[in-house]
Amino acid sequence: SREDFQRIPELAINPLGDRIINAFFPEGEDQVNFRGFMRTLAHFRPIEDNEKSKDQNGPEPLNSRSNKLHFAFRLYDLDKDDKISRDELLQVLRMMVGVNISDEQLGSIADRTIQEADQDGDSAISFAEFVKVLEKVDVEQKMSIRFLH
């Protein structure tokens, strides 16, 4: 349950703690079983080359690049409309940056961010734009944790 997660001390100080916790719980439920837990964590498995060749026909494995990005995208996008709006971005920025910075500054940063990423002019970042922005960032390496080694 959520309280169990919240008892982890580091998560409490992590700015994104709440959102991460929420990511584990599928829609509407309040308990996470091991399977669900594993599913979420599976996003962070390092990408292996041989997997790609096997799974051409079936659904993509959970740890593919696009799924990883999708996971991150979902953390931004709270209302699940497949876009990161300015407000959502602002919220995330506010969480990461703390209380010292004024709202306008954050607002301008958010605007700048959206302006940079936005290609279809809807003042929000869609998943495709998100992917494009992060194409230079080595997501596979960043979003991978070696488990159980």
Partner 1 sequence: IPSVSSIVPESCLLIVVGLLVGGLIKGVGEKPPILKSDIFFLFLLPPIILDAGYFLPLRPFTENLGTILIFAVVGTLWNAFFLGGLMYAVCQLGGPGLNHIGLLANLLFGSIISAVDPVAVLAVFEEIHINELLHILVFGESLLNDAVTVVLYHLFEEFASFEQVTILDIILGFLSFFVVSLGGVLVGVIYGVIAAFTSRFTSHIRVIEPLFVFLYSYMAYLSAELFHLSGIMALIAAGVVMRPYVEANISHKSHTTIKYFLKMWSSVSETLIFIFLGVSTVAGHHYWNWTFVISTLFFCLIARVLGVLVLTWFINKFRIVKLTPKDQFIIAYGGLRGAIAFSLGYLLDYQHFGMRDMFLTAIITVIFFTVFVQGMTIRPLVDLLAVKKKQETKRSINEEIHTQFLDHLLTGIEDICGHYGHHHWKDKLNRFNKKYVKKCLIAGERSKEPQLIAFYHKMEMKQAIELVESGGIGKIPSAVSTVSIQNINPQTLPLERVLPALSKDKEEEIRKILRTNLQKTRQRLRSYNRHTLVADPYEEAWNQMLLRRQKARQLEQKMNNYLTVPAHRVDSPTMSRARIGSDPLAYEPKEDSENLPIITIDPASPQSPESVELMSEEPKGCSGLPPSPEEDEEGLVMRVKEPSSPGTDDVFTPGNSDSPSNQRMLRCLSDPGPRPEPEEGEPFIPKGQ
Q: Which of 7, 35, 80, 136 binds partner 1 (CB under 8 A)?
A: 136
The answer to the question of residue 98 lying near partner 1 (CB under 8 A) is: yes
Residue 120 engages partner 1 in binding (rule: CB under 8 A): no
The verdict on 90 binding partner 1 (CB under 8 A) reads: no
* Total residues interacting with partner 1, rule: CB under 8 A: 50
d(CA 54, CA 11): 36
CA quadruple 82, 113, 98, 140: dihedral positive or negative?
positive
The answer to whether residue 109 forms part of the interface with partner 1 (CB under 8 A) is yes
Tokens of 50: 């041989």
CB nearer to partner 1: pick between 51 and 57: 51
Q: Which string of x and - marks every residue 37-66 that binds partner 1 (by CB under 8 A)?
A: ----x--x-x--------------------
For position 108 contacting partner 1 by CB under 8 A, the verdict is yes
Residue 3 in tokens: 């309280």
Question: Using the rule CB under 8 A, which residue among 76, 78, 91, 127 binds partner 1?
Answer: 76
DSSP structure string for the chain = -HHHHHTSHHHHHSTTHHHHHHHHSPTT-----HHHHHHHHHTTSPP-HHHHHHTTSSPPPTTSHHHHHHHHHHHH-TT-SSEE-HHHHHHHHHHHH-SSS-HHHHHHHHHHHHHHH-SSSSSSEEHHHHHHHTTSS-HHHHT------
Which of 11, 62, 78, 90 contacts partner 1 by CB under 8 A?
A: 11
Residues contributing to the site for partner 1 (CB under 8 A):
5, 8, 10-11, 13-17, 20, 41, 44, 46, 72, 75-76, 92-93, 96-98, 100-102, 104-105, 107-109, 111-113, 115-117, 121, 133-134, 136-147
